[in-house]
Amino acid sequence: MNLHLIYFSPGGTTKKTVMNIAKGFPSSNVQKIDMLRKSNREKIFEFGKEDVIILGMMTATKLFGVPNEVIGALKGNDTPFVGIVTCGNGYYGSSLKVMTKAMEKRGFKMVAAGGFIGQYSFSDKIASGRPDEADEIVQKKFGEDIYHKLIVNNDRTFKHKLKIDWPNEGAFSAFKCALISALPGLGFGLPKSWNELEISNDCIQCGKCVKICPVEALTLDGTIQQDRDLCFGCQACNRGCPKGAIKPVSSKLIKSINNVTPYRTTRKEPIVFI
């Protein structure tokens, strides 16, 4: 068996989640594919029946960012896959449903799925430090269960009907979730009018943000410049800056974060389907 860990993880919590699940597999041949890298999204990775894929993506009600490029780079041949989505202690909406349908069209067969919690991309006050030790235990056990089902018992069935994970954040959020879920397309990004970044004087021009940006929206030319037409607001730059010098400043975005904060302070637990 060859295990392939594939993730689109601007802030690193989705990657950590996928890695923790893989710890439940006995040491096997492991390949990691980081889909933040545009060069990986431009390739075609083809897999067979003996491969096992764990695909992790972050959510914004639907899959976030460029899921068409991520999933479009994968081709299966009746290949078993585990679908993982992460959200910031809110809700993952229709992400798992969307991921499953798109992956099945690409030749993959879902064998297990999970919705996990990662620190909220915009704030260290929501889901701070997650996935944490308690999450890691659940994630490793989930990996062990997948291995047992798939490899030990050779069971490739999946009997669950995945549903929308609705917000518990008032009528407006429920309406937004229904609307976004009904829109065509695999993914949803931050509206352009919300994506403005401020680079403070703490910036040391190390260029880490330029390297990590999945869509080449930042350049270093004496100072850091943001191309707001390319940026979709994933916060990889913000979360990856060693000096904390990059912050979103849109007043609409800040208002929206403040609105959801009271609903997202109570710890939510992961959900797994196997």
Ligand X SMILES: Cc1cc2nc3c(=O)[nH]c(=O)nc-3n(C[C@H](O)[C@H](O)[C@H](O)COP(=O)(O)O)c2cc1C
Residues in touch with ligand X (CB under 6 A)? 9-14, 58-61, 64, 86-91, 118-121, 190, 233-235
Nearest approach in angstroms of CB 17 to ligand X is 8
The H-or-E segment that residue 221 falls in is strand 218-221
Q: ω into residue 248 within 30 of 0, thus cis?
A: no
Residue 45 or 263: which CB sits closer to ligand X?
Answer: 263
**What is the closest distance, in whole angstroms, from the C-beta atom of residue 71 to ligand X in the complex?**
16
Cβ atoms of 37 and 73 within 8 Å: the answer is no
Give least dist CB 159 to ligand X, A. Answer: 26
Question: How far does the chain reach from its first CA to its final CA, in angstroms?
Answer: 19
Q: Are 214 and 57 in contact (CB under 8 A)?
A: no
Residue indicated by tokens 């006050």: 125
Eight-state DSSP code of residue 155? -
CB 59 within 8 A of CB 187: no
Cβ proximity to ligand X, 11 vs 76, nearer residue: 11
Q: Between 117 and 150, whose beta carbon lies closer to ligand X?
A: 117
How far apart (Å, rounded) are the C-alpha atoms in residues 102 and 255? 33
Q: How far is the CB of 104 from ligand X (least distance, A)?
A: 23
Q: Which is nearer to ligand X, 14 or 79 (CB)?
A: 14
Least distance to ligand X, CB of residue 1, Å: 26
Closer residue to ligand X in complex, CB, 17/79: 17
Nearest to 156 by CA among 47, 51, 22: 51
* Least spacing, CB of residue 46 vs ligand X, in Å: 25
In whole angstroms, what is the distance from residue 92 CA to residue 63 CA? 8
Of the pair 13, 226, the CB lying nearest ligand X is at: 13
